[in-house]
Structure 1
């Protein structure tokens, strides 16, 4: 399990609320993750963000991170939930695959798609 740290003082409107990635896998055109975080009182939102452009190496590698906005939730319950993110915006039109390096997850993930 990978931890994605954020400050314990993160407030509503911050995308740095702490969470952990318990599972991560590419499924077709989706990145499916199981996340865990503290909360229980408010809705939480997650988004997938690219950390810069893909490398020029072959296969190309792209650093991604998941950001978490917890609405200032003061809850202490451990919440586990599944999230899915669309990977099609991260395709390289000159290649049929890209290696995804997800922050908070140790193993590289291979995304294969039709060219």
Structure 2
């Protein structure tokens, strides 16, 4: 390779090294506005997971969503780890008790039978039974 060729290779490599670094949030704790809460009760009702939760607030809107925390565990019956995510900007401090629910139909681990839901912050396993 000629001197001119090495020059362009060096310039090209230098330009690749000048990219701006990109910061990526690491896990659910990096999500902005996550708010603490406590699960008081949890159960499966048909194709829905329902929970009674307690959190501080009372002045602003609160959003709860159910998410999977890892891939389904290959066991018999299959087990799916899940967690409620609580988003809020509510500065108030009153203790509020709410009943929340979300569909779990998409979490069926087998065509028919049972999938065990492992809810974060809740000790008993929750059997999700379907036809």
Instruction: Answer whether TM exceeds 0.5 for this pair.
Output: yes
Which residue does the alignment assign to 2:106? Answer: 89
Q: Secondary structure at the match of 1:105?
A: coil
TM-score (norm 2): 0.73
2:38 counterpart of 1:33: no
Q: Distance in 1 between matches of 2:111 and 2:130?
A: 11
Does the C-alpha gap of structure 1 residues 43 and 106 become closer, same or farther in structure 2, counting only changes over 3 Å?
same
Point out where structure 2 has 5 or more consecutive residues left out of the alignment: 1-27
Question: Could you give the per-residue CA deviations for residues 28-64 of structure 1, whole angstroms, max 9, x where no partner exists?
Answer: 1111100110001100000000112211111101100
CA root-mean-square deviation: 2.0
Structure with greater strand share of residues: 1
Question: Could you give the per-residue CA deviations for residues 16-37 of structure 1, whole angstroms, max 9, x where no partner exists?
Answer: 2100001100011111100110
Structure with greater helix share of residues: 2
2:104 counterpart of 1:104: no
Instruction: Count matched residues.
Output: 104
- Residue 14 of structure 1 and its aligned partner are, at CA, apart by 2.5
Larger radius of gyration: 2
- Residue 95 of structure 1 and its aligned partner are, at CA, apart by 4.4
TM-score (norm 1): 0.83
Which residue does the alignment assign to 1:69? Answer: 87
- The list of structure 1 runs, each at least 4 consecutive aligned residues, that deviate by more than 6 angstroms after superposition, is none
2:74 counterpart of 1:56: yes
Higher RCO by CA contacts (8 Å cutoff, separation 6 or greater)? 1
Which residue does the alignment assign to 1:20? Answer: 38
Contact 1:15-1:67 at 8 Å conserved across structures: no
